[in-house]
Structure 1
Amino acid sequence: MTTAEQLDDRYGRTRRRRGPWIVFLAIAVVIVAAFGWSIVTTQMNAVDADDLGYDLVDEHSVTVRFQVTGVQGKDIACAVEALDEEFGVVGWKVVEIPAGDSHSQALSASVPTVSAATTGLVNSCWVA
């Protein structure tokens, strides 16, 4: 009597090996999970800042009002800038904001300038 292995050898059929596909699938799952986790952690630490206005105090200072949203219970730092009429930076300051209980905080910062400014704004914010 002929066995299944003898028939496979006679007619050139080979058994499929599943090992490489399983390894490939496992690697793909790990890569997708790592990418997904990096997106989640990035969004958990995302900080959004909205400019609410500015007051030109004098030639050497600007007060910038802004709102920070997105992170609760973590310290935040924001780069606040004062610009002249050609949008050149004439002053800047890093404002450190202690952790708060609310999701959103309204703040103001006084920025010293080297010459007369025409506007003030928040450049960026990050989790400190």
Structure 2
Amino acid sequence: MSSTAQDTAAELDRRYGRTRGNVRRTRGIVIGTAIAFVVALVAWLVWGGLLSANSDFEVVDTGHTVVDDTLVQVRYQLTVAPGSTMSCALQAQNSTFAIVGWNIVDVPASDRRVRTLGAEIRTTELAVTGLIYRCWLT
């Protein structure tokens, strides 16, 4: 390549930011961004996976029976470590999904891991469903 062609190429490289300094700076930005991404990903995985509470229990609605205008029976299956006590909030809803009954049930400790339980909910009007709202360890 002739001296003029090299000068022209060097001038074009300077004009469009393809100098050695710019290449190093771009490479540094890319490497820094990749390192920051990896650090953020590892921190998120540790915070979300290792530090979060494990699922200590599981509750599944298994059915309900509307006894009359003022009473609903709710059945549910509870899986929890033996010896754990819990409380569950149960609710009854009418046809417009309004809550018409509410009951908090204390579940005593047992030596069995999986249990099928039931409870009654008194209602203010005819309910069409009864279900578990939330459970927690006590």
State the TM-score bracket (shorter-chain normalisation).
Answer: 0.5 to 0.7
Paired position in structure 1 for 2:122: 112
Whether 2:93 is the aligned partner of 1:67: answer: no
Q: CA deviation at 1:70?
A: 2.9
Q: CA deviation at 1:72?
A: 2.2
* From 109, 113, 136, the counterpart of 1:126: 136
Aligned partners of 2:69, 2:81: CA distance in 1, in Å? 34
Whether 2:101 is the aligned partner of 1:91: answer: yes
Equivalent residues in 2 for 1:1-128 (5 A)? Answer: 36=50, 38-39=51-52, 42-43=53-54, 46-128=56-138
CA offsets 1:61-99 (integer angstroms, 9 cap, x no match): 100000111332110111111000111100010110011
Q: Give 5+ residue unaligned stretches, structure 1.
A: 1-27
Q: Give 5+ residue unaligned stretches, structure 2.
A: 1-41
Larger radius of gyration: 2
| TM-score under structure 2 length normalisation | 0.62
Name the amino acid aligned to 2:63: G
% identical equivalent positions: 33
Cα RMSD for the two superposed structures = 2.3
Please state which structure has a larger fraction of its residues in helix: 2
SS at match of 1:43: coil
SS at match of 1:105: strand
Q: CA deviation at 1:124?
A: 1.2
Paired position in structure 2 for 1:13: none
| TM-score under structure 1 length normalisation | 0.67
Name the amino acid aligned to 1:93: N
- 4+ residue segments displaced more than 3 Å: none
SS at match of 2:54: helix
How many residue pairs get matched? 96
Asked which structure has the greater RCO (Cα within 8 Å, sep 6+), the reply is: 1
